[in-house]
Amino acid sequence: MSTMAVALTGNPNVGKSTIFNELTGARQKIGNWPGVTVDKKVGYIRHQNRAISVVDLPGTYSVNARSPEEKIVIDYLLNNKVDMVVDVVDSSNLDRNLYLTVQLLEKGISLLIDLNMKDEAERRGLKIDTRRLEDAIGMPVVETVGHSKASREKLLDVFTSTVMLNYEPSPRLQAHIDAVKEIEASGRPAEEIEEELVARRYALIDSIVAEAVTSTALGQTTSEKIDAVLANGWTAIPIFIAMVYVMFQITFEWIGQPMADALGDYIGGDFKDMVAAQLEAWAVEEWMQSLILDGVVDGVGGVLTFVPLIFVLFFCLSFLDGTGYMARVAFITDPIMRRAGLSGKGIMPLMMGFGCAVPAIMGARALDSEKDRLTSILVTPFLTCGAKLPIMALFAAMFFPENAGNVVFGMYFLGIAMAIVAAKLLSGTVFQGEPSTFLLELPPYRMPDMKTVLLETWDKGKGYMIKAGTIIFAACVFIWFLGHFNFSGMAEMEESFLASMGAAMASLFTFHGFATWEAGASVIAGILAKESVVSTMGILYGAGELSTEADEIAETASALAKTGMAASFTTLSAFAFMVFSQLYTPCATALGTIKKEAGSWKWTAFSAVYMFAIAWVVSLLVYQGGRLLGF
């Protein structure tokens, strides 16, 4: 027998992705952000000797084909041969969910109605008579409870035993469908037709629900009790800040960073020694050894150390997403975000930018308008990420020993201010006329399904490793080449392409006070990875290998202070350099992520260029302004 084609459809927040994961064990994304499953996900299973393919369609409230998600759903269902369309429905919220059901039936699509979260409905005092529902609609109905083995088996049995051809809409539904056809063909104004259709659909649904559902009076739900604390009054904002703080602690202190450090130590230590010994044993040419060790191992190793951070951060976010808290975060912060032309849904991706722009850019996927997504992607890299921090800490320690903390804090503040200004500018110019809208379901709080959280974490982390890894690999080899060669072959770094390019770059900074080739070369290296700004300076000023670890920054600073570096910057030009580093072009990994997420080289190039331009201007203003003020 041929493969049976199953498609899952349904509203957001109904546990559809959980069912998909339970059925197929495939890797994909789920969350409580409405509309998060934009990619098409397919999984394969065998049940009772039958091969079954399952497609997880995006969660939508309707199929008016207005949003990309709605278009995907309706196009897929109308243009593909699907043996069984499963309409996953939240039993505790039947009427709104049935709207999509009715719309699909109007289009002539037969459905298996899956009453999911039956347990939740019962807890809320709702009892659904499945026989009556079946009779009222004319389509088969099955009950499930999300992530459970029994529900999985039950669904698979229904898939293989039910013949959809045996079902047709009930007479009552058929009458509705005929009436809809008539209204659609009536030639009245489109808006009037739509209003009438919506009213008719809900009238039909209300009459079906009245027959099939009995509801015992319920008091305040658990979710509302939790919301009274988490989304209300004076407690909401401190709790939100505490949540973010704990998430950052987990990622950058407690779990993620120690793993990253251990991995970094291993790659830079034992692993590098092992490779070196092996290359020596094979008598590999010296330049090749340098390429592999200093170029590939150091460069790609540097990226790999981010992997634990990304995984831990995404685990935290997926978990919070799964609980339903993310929707509350959007609810709490919307008025603040709106001022910058964004919506509350954008706060979390933005906050992540303080850790690393890469997950922050990937996180923007959850935003629902193209404008919000692009704005978020384009402004996030202004923030002080974990890799810019060493630059700030180092310069502050060297040139502002009295005020280091305040200067670093000032740089964080500058990044935030610039992100807000840029968001405002973008929404007033490039994206003018596209209002940021905010309409968000606040789903009930739920215990996240761990399988789904882990699959989602893996999916995102894997994407980062593959995409960023390939780009970084190429970039590492390229920068190594620039740093070790000139037109007459292999050369010391001072005479390499990198040095000449640094000198050329430096000419851009004639009026910024740091027009040295060392600074220029560091700026170039910083486009590869921001950590490289400090390590390149170390090499160029002859201080050797320098640590960029936060707790060893004082040693690094004192090592560099003994070199020519201290003399080549004034306090003011050092400050201007910090400002520039804070704001200029995102690193190669971030640019690669922008390419992937924005889906165009145009926006990637725009990001690289406009940030460089803004950094150049602001840094110039700081330096010249400072001189006028007599610093």
Partner 1 sequence: MTLSEGTPGTTLRIRSIGDSELKSRLMTMGLIPGTPVTVLRSAPLGDPMAIRVRSYNLALRRDDAGRIEVEPAA
Binding site for partner 1 (CB under 8 A): 61-62, 64, 66, 92-96, 99, 124, 194-195, 198-199, 202, 223-224, 227-228, 231-234, 236-237, 327, 330-332, 334-336, 338, 344, 435, 437-444
Least distance in Å: CB of 333 to partner 1? 8
Least distance in Å: CB of 329 to partner 1? 11
Identity of the residue, 188 or 562, whose beta carbon is nearer to partner 1 in the bound complex: 188
Identity of the residue, 167 or 202, whose beta carbon is nearer to partner 1 in the bound complex: 202
Chain-centre distance of CA 6, in angstroms? 28
Identity of the residue, 114 or 120, whose beta carbon is nearer to partner 1 in the bound complex: 120
Chain-centre distance of CA 447, in angstroms? 21
Grouping H, G, I as helix, E, B as strand and the rest as coil, residue 204 is: helix
Length of the chain: 631
Least distance in Å: CB of 215 to partner 1? 9
Q: Which residues neighbour 462 within 8 Å (Cβ) at sequence distance 6 or greater? A: 27
Identity of the residue, 3 or 235, whose beta carbon is nearer to partner 1 in the bound complex: 235
Identity of the residue, 12 or 513, whose beta carbon is nearer to partner 1 in the bound complex: 12
Alpha-carbon gap, residue 269 to 565, rounded angstroms: 28
Least distance in Å: CB of 417 to partner 1? 20
Q: What is the DSSP letter of 444?
A: P
Identity of the residue, 69 or 597, whose beta carbon is nearer to partner 1 in the bound complex: 69
Identity of the residue, 292 or 330, whose beta carbon is nearer to partner 1 in the bound complex: 330
Alpha-carbon gap, residue 565 to 544, rounded angstroms: 13
Chain-centre distance of CA 52, in angstroms? 31
Least distance in Å: CB of 625 to partner 1? 35
Identity of the residue, 225 or 602, whose beta carbon is nearer to partner 1 in the bound complex: 225
The helix-helix angle for 256-266 and 306-323 (nearest 10°) equals 160
Least distance in Å: CB of 95 to partner 1? 5
Chain-centre distance of CA 187, in angstroms? 44
What's phi and psi for 350, nearest 5 deg? -65, -45
Identity of the residue, 18 or 97, whose beta carbon is nearer to partner 1 in the bound complex: 97
Tokens 């278009």 locate to 71
Structure tokens at 616: 């150049």
CA triplet 6, 10, 13: central angle to 5 degrees?
125
Identity of the residue, 1 or 217, whose beta carbon is nearer to partner 1 in the bound complex: 217
Identity of the residue, 87 or 597, whose beta carbon is nearer to partner 1 in the bound complex: 87
Identity of the residue, 104 or 357, whose beta carbon is nearer to partner 1 in the bound complex: 104
Least distance in Å: CB of 327 to partner 1? 7
Strand partners, 8: 56, 86
Least distance in Å: CB of 61 to partner 1? 5
What's phi and psi for 74, nearest 5 deg? -70, -40
One-letter identity of residue 112: L
Least distance in Å: CB of 62 to partner 1? 4
Least distance in Å: CB of 439 to partner 1? 5
β-strands 4-10, 84-90 pairing: parallel
Least distance in Å: CB of 93 to partner 1? 5
Residue closest to 226 by CA, chosen among 438, 13, 14, 442:
442
What's phi and psi for 116, nearest 5 deg? -90, 165
One-letter identity of residue 422: A
Structure tokens at 334: 């919307």
Least distance in Å: CB of 466 to partner 1? 36
Structure tokens at 234: 């004076």
Strand partners, 55: 7, 42
β-strands 112-116, 141-143 pairing: parallel
Identity of the residue, 110 or 369, whose beta carbon is nearer to partner 1 in the bound complex: 369
Alpha-carbon gap, residue 291 to 284, rounded angstroms: 11
Tokens 């080899």 locate to 477
3-state secondary structure 561-581: HCCCHHHHCCHHHHHHHHHHH
Identity of the residue, 98 or 112, whose beta carbon is nearer to partner 1 in the bound complex: 98
Tokens 């070790």 locate to 484
488: how many CB neighbours lie within 10 A of its CB? 7
Grouping H, G, I as helix, E, B as strand and the rest as coil, residue 141 is: strand
Determine which helix (DSSP H) or strand (DSSP E) holds 448, and give its type and residue range: none
Residue closest to 311 by CA, chosen among 462, 468, 531:
462
Identity of the residue, 202 or 409, whose beta carbon is nearer to partner 1 in the bound complex: 202
Least distance in Å: CB of 437 to partner 1? 6
Q: Is the dihedral of CA 365, 370, 376, 378 positive or negative?
A: positive
Chain-centre distance of CA 324, in angstroms? 17
Least distance in Å: CB of 44 to partner 1? 33
Least distance in Å: CB of 92 to partner 1? 7
Identity of the residue, 238 or 489, whose beta carbon is nearer to partner 1 in the bound complex: 238
Q: Is the dihedral of CA 314, 320, 324, 328 positive or negative?
A: negative
Least distance in Å: CB of 121 to partner 1? 9
428: how many CB neighbours lie within 10 A of its CB? 11
**First-residue to last-residue Cα distance in the chain:** 82
228: how many CB neighbours lie within 10 A of its CB? 13
